[in-house]
């Protein structure tokens, strides 16, 4: 057995006992000389689980992406401003910085992450740091580091400190051999992008850590997410955000997918609501650790027709990007989210007409916009 440094005699004895098959519950921990290392789950340096009457202490990684800021706003309203810490490696805008606690956190820096969790007594962690589909294909080594190595850091820290961990997954976790219409929670998953591969890896590792170490891992497979307060971030479904900005600014939109490419979509408010609901759901209600969620499914042509009710002169052209089209063609056309609706009463609020109305209401009045019929 290798020498374990910086452990007290009691912990060393527990390690030896577990190696002899004594049934001690273990969690992964990184330390000098052993990485990852296993110690008993009742080791003295474990943070205490918050009581049911207390609010969770929340950390959001990758918080300056499409979803993090909105999630922080929702969670701060529910749990209190100072109980939710937003983090990223980029400098936030003033309105984000002054809206609540913000810190620098690099998910590839294990020591820094661990210090953040310990010093701030974190109990819930939302892990949003990731490179999306198209961006990931342009830089596979970076996507592998961020999406996989970063995830391993998060899993080890979450298990060590008994956190409730949320990691989002995606329609990109499926591939061309998956059933596409509809796609169930459990089926063949053979994605063809590093983003999709990393998300399948996250789903399986999270489930493994739940079974092996008791980690309270929760995961939702998001469809394409549409929001008005963020710019497209390189995802294959981001055309459904870009069309609104282009309609407002120029009245011309060039789509990189075929007009008949059907994909599941969701308005951001539904996405954030589902995320909070699954995190608050009683553990005994969950029959699985990764769920599909869905709200609507449409094609670029159907979306354009709905947008043209507000901007009749909108000119739409199609210049297909073969890389992104191939990605979209391997993804689900519709999600079967019946398990989420049964287990924790998931219900969406926004269909396509409500989505378009809300987007234009948020973006504000413009001379191009006509009243909908």
Q: Which residues are catalytic?
A: 195
* HEC profile of the chain: CCCCCCCCHHHHHHHHHHHCCCCCCEEEEEECCEEEEEEECCCCCCCCCCCCCCCCCEEEECCCCCCHHHHHHHHHHHHCHHHEEEEECCCCCHHHHCCCCEEECCCCCHHHHHHHHHHCCCCEEEECCCCCHHHHHHCHHHHHHHHHHHHHHHHHHHHHCCCEEECCEEHHHCCCCCCCCCECCCCCCCCCCHHHHHHHHHHHHHHHHHHHHCCEEEEEEECEEECCCCCCCCCHHHHHHHHHHHHHHCCEEEECCCCCCCEEEEEHHHHHHHHHHHHHCCHHHCCCCEEECCCEEECHHHHHHHHCCCCCCCEEEECCCHHHHHHHHCCCCCECCHHHHHHCCCCCCCCHHHHHHHHHHHHCCCCCCCCCC
**What's phi and psi for 231, nearest 5 deg?**
-85, 155
Pairing of strands 102-104, 124-127: unpaired
What distance in Å separates the CA atoms of residue 63 and residue 89, rounded to the nearest whole number? 9
| CA separation, residue 27 to residues 15, 169, 329 (Å) | 11, 24, 40
Query: Computed over its alpha carbons, how large is the radius of gyration of the chain?
Result: 22
């Amino acid at each position: 057995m290798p020498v374990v440094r910086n452990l007290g005699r009691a912990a060393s004895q527990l390690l030896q006992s577990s190696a002899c098959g004594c049934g001690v519950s273990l969690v992964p921990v990184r330390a000098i000389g052993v990485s990852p290392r296993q110690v008993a789950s009742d080791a003295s340096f474990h943070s205490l689980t918050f009581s049911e009457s207390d609010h969770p202490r929340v950390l959001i990684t990758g918080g300056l992406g499409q979803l993090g800021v909105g999630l922080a706003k929702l969670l701060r309203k529910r749990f209190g401003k100072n109980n939710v810490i937003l983090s990223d490696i980029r400098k936030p805008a003033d309105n984000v910085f002054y809206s609540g606690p913000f810190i620098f956190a690099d998910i590839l820096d294990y020591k820094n992450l661990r210090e953040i969790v310990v010093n701030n007594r974190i109990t819930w962690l939302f892990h949003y740091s990731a490179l999306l589909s198209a961006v990931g294909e342009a830089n596979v080594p970076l996507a592998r580091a961020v999406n996989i190595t970063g995830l391993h850091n998060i899993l080890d820290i979450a298990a060590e400190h008994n956190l409730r961990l949320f990691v989002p997954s995606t329609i990109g976790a499926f591939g061309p051999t998956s059933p596409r219409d509809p796609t169930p929670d459990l089926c063949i998953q053979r994605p063809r992008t590093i983003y999709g591969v990393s998300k399948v890896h996250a789903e399986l590792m999270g489930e493994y850590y739940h079974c092996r170490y008791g980690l309270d891992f929760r995961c939702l497979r998001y469809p394409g997410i549409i929001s008005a307060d963020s710019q497209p971030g390189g995802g294959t479904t981001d055309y459904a955000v870009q069309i609104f900005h282009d309609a407002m600014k120029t009245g011309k939109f060039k789509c990189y997918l075929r007009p008949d490419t059907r994909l599941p979509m969701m308005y951001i408010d539904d996405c954030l609501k589902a995320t909070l609901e699954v995190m608050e759901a009683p553990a005994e209600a969950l029959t699985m650790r990764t769920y599909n969620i869905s709200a609507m499914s449409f094609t670029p042509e159907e979306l354009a027709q709905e947008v043209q009710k507000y901007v009749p002169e909108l000119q739409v052209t199609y210049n297909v990007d073969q890389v992104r089209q191939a990605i979209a063609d391997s993804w689900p056309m519709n999600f079967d989210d019946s398990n989420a609706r049964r287990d924790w009463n998931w219900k969406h609020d926004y269909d396509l007409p409500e989505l378009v109305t809300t987007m234009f209401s948020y973006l504000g009045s413009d001379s191009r916009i006509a009243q909908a019929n």
